[in-house]
A = this chain, B = another copy of it.
Amino acid sequence: MSEFELSATPPKSVRTRGSQRSIIRELLKLASKPDVISFAGGLPSPKSFPVEAIEKATDWVLEHHGAQALQYSSTEGEPALRKAIAERETELSAPVEADNIQIVSGSQQALDLIGSAYVDEGSVIAVENPTYLGALSAFKLQRPTFLTIPTDEYGLNPDKIGPEFRGIRFAYVIPTFQNPTGITLSEERRKKLAEKAREYDFWIIEDNPYGELWYDHQPPKPIRCYAPERTLTLGTFSKVLSPGFRLGYVVGPKTALDPLIVLKQAVDLHTSTFTQLISARCLDTGLMNAHMPAVRELYKTQCSCMLEALEKYFPQGTSWTKPDGGMFIWVTLPEYINTDEMMKEALDRKVAYVPGSAFYANEPELNKMRLSFVTVPPEKIDAGIKILAQLVKERIDAREAK
């Protein structure tokens, strides 16, 4: 196919000329080599997948609703799944009905649809600092202006939200086991954020992929509970059932879901009927409730293991978050250590992480890194953290030798 390789492309749109491959996706390629200890991925542990239960659910769906499962569906989503999610969300947070649920092809699609529906070039949207890089990629397609919400060790600080938030399109936040920091916002701050949203009349986009991955106690209720009239909450099955299904949902006022439906019709018609019905069956048979304790226990153990290794190996002058759930630890190194630059050497020594710079909308902080502890076996967590600690020590020593 040499002529293929030589050829060009149709004339590119301004959007495409500006966009680049996601750093995390490119890193994942290098990090996915079998000899690399990768703390880079946001992948859930495959040990957490209920393969047999999914096989049972699939067989049941094909036997009882085969023609429906393989046919086109509505853009809003399968009624059975919307109902099951509404019941679950009602139980876990605040009352909603099936009409308040929009099914999407993974919560990444929700981010894209929300950006497309509610952001124009130059629109101001607020994000935490740092925030999920996939959200930045999705929102950046619209070329907005980012306003960063000031944060401290307890997460975003609503007291610092002032009149500059009036008129913004929305504030995007991950209040529970945040990506990348692992920090959980207190109930008090959630309430205050809801008050500020009312005071300055802005909407909240609440991303909640990790809420069910708590270790010892449930996190505070979603922000949606405190400002239901101006919050869209994003949920996903990727962290609790299967990311391979590409199944997520948006919860919120029907009026605010309607523009997303119009766009979704144009961008992919609807989400897979097949995976929707299988997931509905998994919810209806109580699989999620039966399955989650084991996932929580697994992740808690993995997290403890990494925290112990950090404590054991990492030198003075470094610090890290201690999450109560989720998948990530956020490490702060001395200010003169650049984790972008350190990454190449880490990969040479067969360890991977995500450099902190990827998670900033505006000015990046360069001395941070995100570590995921969920997929690497305990003995390799220890070995990988030891190697990272060595890299850091070498840089501290070099600095002190000057």
Contact = CB atoms under 8 A, between A and B. Distances in A.
Given A22-B266, A70-B245, A170 B10 contact: yes
A100 B16 CA distance: 19
Contacts of A266: 19, 22, 108, 112, 134, 137-138, 140-141
Interface in A109-129: 109, 112, 116-120, 123
Given A138-B266, A256-B10, A262-B20, A59 B69 contact: no
A156 interface: no
B117 A15 contact: yes
Interface string A220-251: 00000000111000000010001111100000
B137 A265 contact: yes
Contacts of A230: 7
A255 B9 contact: yes
B254 A4 contact: yes
B21 A265 contact: yes
Interface string A1-45: 101111111111111100111100100010000000000011110
Interface string A60-88: 00110011111111110000000000000
A202 B8 CA distance: 11
B69 A268 contact: no
A10 B253 contact: no
Interface stretch (A175-183, A269-277, A342-350): A269-277
- Copies per complex of this chain: 2
Nearest to A109: B268
A106 interface: yes
Interface residues of A, number: 100
B263 A123 contact: no
Interface string A305-316: 000000000000
A33 B70 CA distance: 19
Given A10-B169, A118-B12, A263 B141 contact: yes
A252 B3 CA distance: 11
Contacts of A142: 13
A272 to B, nearest CB: 5
A259 B12 contact: yes
A54 interface: yes
A68 to B, nearest CB: 8
A267 B13 CA distance: 16
Given A54-B62, A105-B268, A140-B266, 20 more contacts: A4-B252, A4-B254, A9-B118, A10-B256, A13-B116, A13-B119, A13-B120, A16-B259, A21-B265, A41-B72, A49-B67, A55-B58, A55-B62, A55-B66, A58-B62, A70-B242, A105-B246, A112-B266, A141-B263, A246-B268
Interface of A: 1, 3-16, 19-22, 25, 29, 41-44, 46, 49, 51, 54-55, 58-59, 62-63, 66-75, 95-97, 99-100, 105-106, 108-109, 112, 116-120, 123, 134, 137-138, 140-142, 169-170, 202-203, 228-230, 238, 242-246, 252-256, 258-259, 261-263, 265-275
7 contacts: A7-B229, A51-B67, A51-B70, A55-B59, A246-B270, A267-B267, A272-B272
